[in-house]
Structure 1
């Protein structure tokens, strides 16, 4: 399965019917919007330098706000999932981001097919923005009324990004009043070597305290704060009153 040709001849989307739009059209529009100066900023921000977590990726310089604008006509299109899966293998970061945004938009109507495509494609969902824009709706949305043991498998993966997918997917549950998954998964990553994982777990714990129950979060912190990485704890307690934050920092 090849990657659609991102250099296909551009036809203004407004001049075409949504049914005629293809993944190749989308990638070509992103290429046309590329800005080398923006690319330099994004490369630093997403750590594409040697030794950075994004090393090996390629940015052309298109902001997310621009991508979302370009996606508007494609939300009415019915691009086959096979085309989108092929496009998700593109070496260009913004191509993959656009495809994931589009898959997220369609996830509610094509839940199982998109969930399975997503898990086949985790090698290409390889930076925090790609995970964060897609994991809640695609993974969390699919698993909401199903067994969630796959999250335990993902959170123990050698892949940084699969571990982050497991954690961030719980945002879907938390927004719907279910916090038990993040309290179960967070201790799995106390000893994780990656700060991005500590940030994700702390973020989800904070959201659980904010949206579901502050008392539950404090019960968790009473038990686990001494063992939590500093970054995770800092994120988790961010919305608590100052004196309570100081109490848990002292435990750490």
Structure 2
């Protein structure tokens, strides 16, 4: 099978649906150049899994494509590549960061940031996360907090808490939702640290963020 961007799109085209196109368009926050084929997410994910060994140059071509599903496929391929024991984590990370302008919807970030960005930084300084958190681009800020999920799942909560504190006043609800998710997961690993964080910062948090963050905390006696 040809593992090219064109071949990937050819795999998807027979599954295009007007109903699915309308459904996808309701949750897109991408730029005006984005087009939607109307492909169910499972079909796109299955195709990406089949293209796991596609060259990164072809993944970049998918990211550059105007179709939303092409970009979903690209970040999914990056994620599947990151799961492999022989993954070139630096190359995957660079591909993600260097093409971040094309990772322009919440689900594109969520699909790849934990394993592609978070896993790469697991044994490295976390400065890039703080640079992303300070970006004027909301999707880079979402990458910063979402990437910490991989760190949390490896029992490291420091960066998740620090970046959450920086983003608590973010004007974007889509960022605050990710902050709530990171705090919730941090609470699974270290409930005492989360309790202390909420005591210090709770009055700065929106009710939805606070509610999600407290999901797994036991009620006070």
TM-score of the two chains, using structure 2 as the length reference: 0.92
Superposed CA offset, 1:95-135 (max 9, x none): 10011111111125111011111111111111111000100
C-alpha contact 2:21 2:38 (8 A) present in aligned 1: yes
Structure 2 counterpart of 1:21? 3
Instruction: Please point out which of 46, 50, 53 is paired with 1:69.
Output: 46
Aligned mates of 1:139, 1:214 — CA distance in 2:
25
Superposed CA offset, 1:185-235 (max 9, x none): 01111211100010000100000101x111111011111101122222121
Q: Which residues in structure 2 correspond to 1:70-109 (within 5 Å)?
A: 70-75=47-52, 78-107=53-82, 108=84, 109=87
C-alpha contact 1:205 1:217 (8 A) present in aligned 2: yes
Structure 2 counterpart of 1:226? 203
Q: Which residues in structure 2 correspond to 1:72-221 (within 5 Å)?
A: 72-75=49-52, 78-107=53-82, 108=84, 109-210=87-188, 212-221=189-198
Aligned mates of 1:128, 1:220 — CA distance in 2:
25
| 2:64 match: secondary structure | coil
C-alpha contact 1:195 1:231 (8 A) present in aligned 2: no
CA RMSD of aligned residues (A): 1.6
After the TM superposition, list the runs of 4 or more consecutive aligned residues in structure 1 that deviate by more than 4 angstroms. none
Bigger shift: 116-125 or 80-89? Answer: 80-89
C-alpha contact 1:30 1:95 (8 A) present in aligned 2: no
Aligned mates of 2:90, 2:144 — CA distance in 1:
17
- Structure of higher CA gyration radius: 1
Q: Which residues in structure 2 correspond to 1:25-64 (within 5 Å)?
A: 25-44=7-26, 46=27, 48=28, 53-56=29-32, 57-64=34-41
Aligned mates of 1:147, 1:205 — CA distance in 2:
21
Q: Shift of the alpha carbon at 1:55?
A: 4.8
Aligned mates of 1:21, 1:139 — CA distance in 2:
24
Paired residue total: 217
Aligned mates of 2:139, 2:165 — CA distance in 1:
17
Q: Shift of the alpha carbon at 1:21?
A: 2.7
